[in-house]
């Protein structure tokens, strides 16, 4: 699809209110020695241009593999077993491998947690970013190189022309992450997936990266799917929050509603772990237990084994996501008692 057609399509999405991304009933399974394991179970959400969805939850709850499914990069031996993924009105599951390659790094880009894994140590960052541009544009080497320098400058790397000649190991962690962001943004994606993109950085650099992403979102009008363990950062960047537990969505709400009045016991538990100034010298609360390894084999609510509010009804009944307020859905049989 040409750049003009993409711009027109994006403008149409803005005007019509249609979601840029619409994912319905996604399920992902992995083959294991103990049989097929359903890691993601009937996950649904949508995302409009210029908006940010924050996905939170403990490790092993299916957040990252859900994100990878949008690029059709579910790692082997996993596979998408059900669901529809629509992006700009297209069914991504129906596209050929070549068509998906044009979308990856172009219309949809991803920032990974550890920049070392995303950068090739034997090429300069300028060459790598320029190559990412040439993959999606009919550009000369000179044009791609100048574009790479421009985007390095845009993401806040000082002396961008000089730094473009640097190898990854010659940059600090914060600079490497900015280079990865530059590589992801050089084609001005419609959707940016950030998977724990700030986790390995110190607090000051984290704040700078969040400000950068918000500035670029305003400039490009892109949607952001932001995956993080850090609820404080999610509260700053997200318009909506989706909580995943054991492969399922247990709560989804506008950011203000979620942080002001979480309705699922798991969500409430996550928020109690946030550092508070008045608890500076106290040990942070924790949620007892851990995510069950084969959570797909549990009967009833998957959080029940760790939930202080659970009873026998919870342990034998699988809750559905139900609307409790405008834009606020909760999958909990005890949500009326949740904080």
Burial label for 39, CB within 10 Å (0-12, 13-18, 19+), is buried
pLDDT of residue 138: 86
pTM equals: 0.89
pLDDT tens-place string over residues 110-129 = 997 777 778 999 999 999 99
Q: From CA 171, how far away is CA 125, in angstroms rounded?
A: 10
Please tell me the least confidently modeled range out of 6-10, 102-106, 157-161. 6-10
Q: Residue 295 carries which DSSP code?
A: G
Per-residue pLDDT band for 173 (boundaries 50, 70, 90) equals confident
Q: Does position 32 have pLDDT exceeding 50, yes or no?
A: yes
Q: Does position 16 have pLDDT exceeding 60, yes or no?
A: no
pLDDT tens-place string over residues 201-230 = 788 888 888 998 999 899 889 999 999 988
Q: Residue 59 carries which DSSP code?
A: T
Going 67 to 73 to 78 to 83, the CA torsion angle's sign is positive
Please tell me the least confidently modeled range out of 63-67, 119-123, 142-146, 194-198. 194-198
Mean pLDDT of 50-78: 95
Q: Does position 24 have pLDDT exceeding 60, yes or no?
A: yes
> What integer best gives the mean pLDDT of the chain?
89
pLDDT of residue 281: 63
Per-residue pLDDT band for 15 (boundaries 50, 70, 90) equals very low
């Amino acid at each position: 699809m040409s750049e003009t057609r993409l711009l027109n399509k994006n403008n149409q999405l803005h005007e019509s209110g249609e979601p840029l991304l619409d994912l319905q009933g996604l399920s992902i399974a992995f083959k294991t020695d103990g049989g097929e394991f359903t890691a993601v179970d009937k996950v649904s959400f949508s995302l409009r241009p210029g908006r940010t969805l924050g996905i939170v939850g403990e490790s092993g709850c299916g957040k990252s593999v859900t994100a990878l499914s949008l690029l059709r990069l579910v790692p082997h031996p996993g596979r998408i077993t059900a669901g529809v993924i629509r992006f700009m009105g297209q069914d991504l599951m129906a596209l050929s491998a070549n068509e998906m390659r044009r979308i990856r790094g172009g219309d949809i880009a991803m920032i990974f947690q550890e920049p070392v894994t995303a950068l090739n140590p034997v090429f300069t960052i300028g060459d790598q970013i320029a190559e990412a541009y040439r993959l999606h544009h009919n550009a000369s080497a000179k044009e791609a190189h100048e574009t790479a320098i421009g985007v390095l400058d845009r993401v806040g790397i000082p002396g961008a022309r000089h730094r473009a000649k640097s190898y990854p190991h010659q940059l600090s962690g914060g600079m490497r992450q900015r280079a990865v962001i530059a590589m992801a943004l050089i084609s001005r994606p419609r959707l940016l997936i950030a998977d724990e993109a700030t986790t390995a950085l110190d607090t000051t650099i984290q704040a700078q990266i969040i400000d950068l992403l918000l500035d670029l979102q305003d400039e490009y009008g892109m949607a952001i799917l932001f995956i993080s363990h850090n609820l404080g950062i999610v509260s700053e960047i997200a318009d909506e929050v989706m909580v995943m537990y054991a492969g399922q969505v247990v709560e989804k709400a506008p950011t203000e509603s979620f942080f002001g009045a979480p309705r699922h016991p798991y969500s409430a538990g996550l928020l109690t772990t946030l550092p508070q100034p008045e608890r500076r010298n106290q040990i942070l609360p924790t949620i007892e237990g851990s995510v069950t390894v084969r959570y797909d084999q549990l009967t009833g609510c998957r959080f029940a084994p760790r939930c202080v509010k659970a009873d026998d009804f919870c342990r034998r009944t699988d809750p559905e996501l139900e609307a409790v307020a405008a834009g606020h859905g909760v999958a909990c049989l005890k949500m009326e008692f949740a904080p």
